[in-house]
Structure 1
Amino acid sequence: MQSRFLYLTHTKQLFRNFKMAAFGTVFMPKMALSTFENGQWTDAATVSSDSIQLHPGAHVLHYSSTCFEGLKAFKHQDGSVHVFRMDQNVKRFAQSSNLLHLPQIDQRQVSDMILDIVAQFKDEIPEPPGSMYIRPTHFGTEAAVGKAAAPSASSMLYVLISPVGDYFAGGARPLRILLDETGMRCAPHMGMIKSGGNYASALGPILEAKEQVQADQILFCPNGDVQETGAANFILIDGNEVITKALSSEFLHGVTRDSVLEIAADLGMTVSERDLTVTELLERAAKPNVEAALSGTAAVLTSVGTLIHDGIEYKVGSGEHGPTTQKLRQALNQVQWGQTEDTHNWLTEVK
């Protein structure tokens, strides 16, 4: 009982100071949870978010049968709360689960779990640019260490939520990105799965790049093919054209990426989803008005100011925050924050 009291006290204290805390380190005391047992999903329940019960032989701990999602709920000026592009995140969640051969999720149930747990903490959602970050997670729980070549017959699915402020609360600066033509973020057939193993496999090269050339991230370009960084999609902006790699199984199909491309089209820009080589990237980066950016749920859209390749640093355009990048980010934020019309029906209101 005392440890439980200390946990809740600590959580409340962290929440009061969430603007001071690192992104995603403050959690609400409750989460939604369901398990798959004996061929069916249990009814979702609201449980404590400070722990889960898991057998040491659980499939996920030995064979990494796990996937997750990241999306946000925003509080509008009238006090209403809206989840951004929940349908697309739940669809991708189902895709990841299927590709990992986890039990098939019930997309309607997952959507209800998201809306229900966010509704319970509507009053705790920060005002923009803050939001409630939502982390659905699904993993295999069957205790069977002999199943290295077989899927887990049981699983657990929960929805954890975290009040967050601006990802760059201290002020964003243009990023330094190392171009890596020798490695890949993950195995090619795993790229479109949002699985923790993909992030772990990229961690070593990223840490090495930070130490050796003070890079913020690595842009993986196997054999010169520009793909994605360890945690975000890559976008190049050349005048009125937005260029990014066409969707394939090799990299994650970002919901923010898709949103940015749709907004760019709305603004009359040309959207080119195609292969982009390192050679072309460096040639275009030398032009004065070119911009580059990374897109993702947490940071939304962030300018890239420097590319590092074969020991040489290349400034992207002016090397500073790009005006078009900022315009696209602002346009996306205005939809999320309810400051402009939601013409694409991206928002789901939380009742």
Structure 2
Amino acid sequence: MGNMQISINESQERKTKPSTDGIAFGRNFTDHMFIADYTEGIGWHDHRIVPYEPITLDPSAVIFHYGQTVFEGLKAYRAKDGAIRLFRPEENFRRMNESCDRLCMPQIDEEDALKALKTLIKVERDWVPEAEGTSLYIRPYMIATEPHLGVAPSLTYKFIIILSPVGSYYKEGIAPVKILVENEYVRAVAGGTGAAKTAGNYAASLKAQAVAEKMGYSQVLWLDGVEKKYVEEVGSMNVFFKIDGEVITPALNGSILGGITRKSIIEMLQAWGTPVTERRISMEEIKTAQQEGRLDEAFGTGTAAVISPIGEFSWKGEAFTINGGQAGELSTKLYEELTGLQSGVKEDPFGWVTEIREEAAVRN
């Protein structure tokens, strides 16, 4: 994608923007999207911003049959001064390339991908909501498009970015959730695709999630796929535990997705001088710590919620609460610091925020 030129074809009909009060996540999309095509032997070409519309693919396209696809999720925020801010977008495109490598898909030029995103957001600047807690959700993804019923990497691909305004994840402060520890199904195993952000991982998680919801739980806690003993992820988030004043999160082991929020939490805690460790941690250790009064907090981290406190676990038919079922002091502080930094309310000592200036996009 080097030396990328982007053509812009603006939509003649504009959508009515939804109210961000109570807006459903991922149901509304902006007027335009970015698309680039890849052809083996040529590379990336035809970079363009076009009206948001359905994609036409051959029924035998590789994506439909062999699942060659990767995606990312990040957000754009409207600061109080009107500036639009991105949070560590370069990390998302770096991780996307790692996912592409695992799925035998072509690499993107990370700088060009960021340029494409910035240009798209400039075209759609009016779609970035202003209300507190709201944001513009960004979904970059790649799909295999070659019409071929053969188990081999596709020779053609599309890289696409779509945008969706979303409301506040928490309406009345961050709310603790109830989690069911999954003992039957597994999300991924080392050597599989668990460390990649690919669609199949999420399809494989739906059955356990449906069972958990029927039992009254918000999410499942995934255990390792070999011994079903060690904690891996919670729902589609990374997970942290505060035990004896130390913050512990499962080490990246080849089956856990390395979250951007996870990485930021670790770096923020280190900057604060708070002990934080990446290592294996078993449910037995967590349960023992809770029984002995040493488990202070547990929380999930991810793009959508940022921080999701855990108020209760159910493991092997037995439920136990954490911090009286209330959001803990550390998780609340982390949530306020990260969201404040993202929205421009707080200073950014880490250099994580990229601002998009409000000048008009250049049209070719």
User: Given the alignment, which residue of 50, 55, 75 partners 2:53?
Assistant: 50
Cα distance in 2, alignment partners of residues 254 and 288 from structure 1 = 26
Deviations 1:269-316 (A, max 9, x none): 101111100101112234276111111000100110000011111111
Contact 1:285 1:291 in 2 (8 A): no
**Cα distance, 1:70 vs. partner?**
0.4
Most deviating of 218-227 and 17-26: 17-26
Taking only the aligned residue pairs, the percentage that are identical comes to 32
User: Given the alignment, which residue of 319, 326, 336 partners 1:320?
Assistant: 326
Aligned to 2:308: 302
Deviations 1:229-259 (A, max 9, x none): 2311111123532110111211100001111
Contact 1:96 1:195 in 2 (8 A): yes
SS at match of 1:135: strand
SS at match of 1:301: strand
Cα distance in 2, alignment partners of residues 43 and 346 from structure 1 = 31
Aligned to 1:3: none
**Cα distance, 1:166 vs. partner?**
0.9
Contact 2:174 2:332 in 1 (8 A): no
Cα distance in 2, alignment partners of residues 173 and 334 from structure 1 = 18
Contact 1:66 1:140 in 2 (8 A): yes
Aligned to 1:108: 111
Aligned to 2:255: 250
**Cα distance, 1:80 vs. partner?**
1.2
Cα distance in 1, alignment partners of residues 122 and 105 from structure 2 = 28
> Is 1:234 paired with 2:239?
yes
Cα distance in 2, alignment partners of residues 125 and 25 from structure 1 = 15
Aligned to 1:206: 209
> Is 1:345 paired with 2:348?
no
User: What letter is aligned with 1:349?
Assistant: E
User: What letter is aligned with 1:210?
Assistant: E
SS at match of 1:156: strand
Contact 1:89 1:255 in 2 (8 A): yes
SS at match of 2:114: helix
Please give the TM-score of this superposition, normalised by the length of structure 1: 0.92
Contact 2:36 2:160 in 1 (8 A): yes
Deviations 1:115-143 (A, max 9, x none): 11111122321123111111001010000
User: Given the alignment, which residue of 333, 336, 339 partners 1:333?
Assistant: 339
Aligned to 2:97: 94
Q: How does 1:59-208 map to 2 (within 5 A)?
A: 59-127=62-130, 128-145=132-149, 147-148=150-151, 150-169=152-171, 172-188=174-190, 189-208=192-211
Deviations 1:78-105 (A, max 9, x none): 2111110011000001111111001222
SS at match of 1:137: strand
Cα distance in 2, alignment partners of residues 328 and 170 from structure 1 = 17
> Is 1:35 paired with 2:37?
yes
Cα distance in 2, alignment partners of residues 285 and 49 from structure 1 = 50
User: What letter is aligned with 2:30?
Assistant: M
> Is 1:277 paired with 2:282?
yes
Which structure has greater helix proportion? 1
Contact 1:242 1:270 in 2 (8 A): yes
Cα distance in 2, alignment partners of residues 326 and 282 from structure 1 = 23
SS at match of 1:318: helix
Contact 2:20 2:129 in 1 (8 A): no
SS at match of 1:219: strand
Deviations 1:136-172 (A, max 9, x none): 0101000001x22x10111001110111111223664
User: What letter is aligned with 1:45?
Assistant: R
**Cα distance, 1:343 vs. partner?**
1.6
Contact 1:186 1:202 in 2 (8 A): no
Cα distance in 1, alignment partners of residues 355 and 46 from structure 2 = 23
SS at match of 1:257: helix
Contact 1:301 1:329 in 2 (8 A): yes
SS at match of 1:250: coil
User: What letter is aligned with 2:300?
Assistant: L
SS at match of 2:323: coil
Aligned to 1:4: none
Please give the TM-score of this superposition, normalised by the length of structure 2: 0.89
User: What letter is aligned with 2:318?
Assistant: I
**Cα distance, 1:52 vs. partner?**
1.2
RMSD in angstroms over aligned alpha carbons? Answer: 1.7
**Cα distance, 1:50 vs. partner?**
2.3
SS at match of 1:243: strand
Deviations 1:156-206 (A, max 9, x none): 011101111112236643111111234321343211100111011010011
